[in-house]
Structures are given as structure tokens and as C-alpha cells.
Amino acid sequence: MTRPTAAFFDLDKTIIAKSSTLAFSREFQAGGLISRRAMLRSAYAQLVFFTGGADHDQMDKMREFMSQLCAGWDVATVRDIVHETLSTIVEPLVYDEAVTLFEEHRAAGRDIVIVSASGSEVVEPIGELLGADRVVATRMEIADGRYTGNIDYYAYAEEKARAIEQLAASVGYDLSACYAYSDSITDVHMLEVVGHPFAVNPDKELRKVAATKGWPVLSFVRPVALRRRIPVPPARPTLAALAVGGAVAAGGVAWANRRKRSHDA
């Protein structure tokens, strides 16, 4: 029998047109969740992470700030708010080209799997919105129903590739017949584990790798109102989605670096 296959998608700048966490910055402030100063600092922290322009010391400082910001937030409240606002915030940012790929892969019988370093509280509802079959995302540590500010699992860089391989072993995917899409050099490992890798809106370094390895390069340029392509549930007005993904983005690199240093030691 033919083994099942999947198409693995990064999220930010691959499925949606900007950072899934930066997309909520104004809503954080408008909803009174954070001050204007904190909003600007968190947006900057996310932007630096998103563009890969911070050293270890900078990321440690950002991680500390973001961890303090989300520590103590009630998990159930965060999840409710994210679910209520995603269709308003994210729905207009989805690339039309990505939706087309989703449709083509489904028609070919492949599963759709989103693999993102952003927090599961953000990524899982986006996956549900898009009809993804599975989601791999970062998980924040929870104690007594609240976030501690620490990270349980960080879906970043090599860990994305490991997660895909583990999922393939569990589900039975034939990775040689699977597809993967990403914009970032940090996802080169994820792209290398499948038989059909694609660089989407690649950064400078990934573009070089794609050229060397002969990987196709795709340009996604048309964000589309998702409801024009697939049914989208109506959104209810609420405060805003919380910056769970932002805390992950700012803190995760430091977590990964500490893990690497412990291995090197």
C-alpha cells in the first residue's frame, strides 16, 4: 500500500504575510492588556527575533521582559481571547498562494501540517481556521492554570526537523514524497528532511541555500480575505489576543542557546 504523505508549512511569511505575533500589537494596547511603552518594547523584541538581528545578551534581556509580561496570565482566558479574535486579525493576512497550495495538496490526498515556533495558543487556532490536519508549535509552561513564563517545548530550527521525523514515524509519512515550505534559513533542517522542499519569500541566506541545492523558490505576494476562499466563522468583539507567541519568540532563542551550551559543556 502507498504510504501517506504530508505538506509541512512554516507559518510567518509563508502562510500569513507577517509575524503572527506582530499582527496583534495594536490590539494588545487597544485592549488595555499592556501599556504603550510595553507594547512598543514587545513589538521591538518580536521584530528583532523575526529578522534574526539580536545577539545572545539582547535575546536574554528580551526573554526576561517577555516572560515577566506573560507570567501569571490565566491560560483559559488567553485561549478564549485568541479564538475570538483570530478571524479578525489573521484572516486578511493569509496568502492566496498558500491557500491554493493547501487546496492542491488536499486534492492530492496529502495532510496539511503547520510547523511554527510561535506559541500553540496562537498556532493551533490558525491551523483550525485553515483546516490543517496537524500542528507543531511551541508550548509554554503552565502551572495551576497559569503561564509561568518558561518554555516547555520550543519548535525552532533543528527541533522542527526532529518533530517532522517523529511525526512521520508515528503516522507513517513517506518523507521522500512529502513537501515543505518556509521563508527562513532557520528552517533549512525542516526543508532538508523532505523530498520536495520549497523556499517561500526566502531570506537572503535561505535563497543562497536554495540556489545551491536547486530548491524551487516561490513568491507569495497576494494576501487575501480568507472568507473569499474558504468559510470563516464570524468573529466576536473582544479585547485582543495576548502576546503568547511574542513571549515564545523573545524567549525561545535564549532557551535554545542555553540548551546548546549545556550540550557543548
Neighbours of 54 (CB within 10 A): 18
* Strand pairing category for 111-119 and 134-143: parallel
The catalytic site residues sit at: 10, 12
> HEC string of 239-258?
CCCCCHHHHHHHHHHHHHHH
User: Backbone dihedral region of 94: left (phi > 0), alpha (psi from -120 to 50 degrees) or beta?
Assistant: beta
Calpha distance 141→158 (Å, rounded): 21
Alpha helix stretches (DSSP H) within the chain: 25-30, 36-51, 56-70, 75-89, 96-107, 120-130, 158-171, 188-192, 204-213, 244-264
Q: What nine digits make up the cell of 255? A: 532557551
Q: By CB neighbour count within 10 A (0-12 exposed, 13-18 middle, 19+ buried), where does 32 fall?
A: exposed
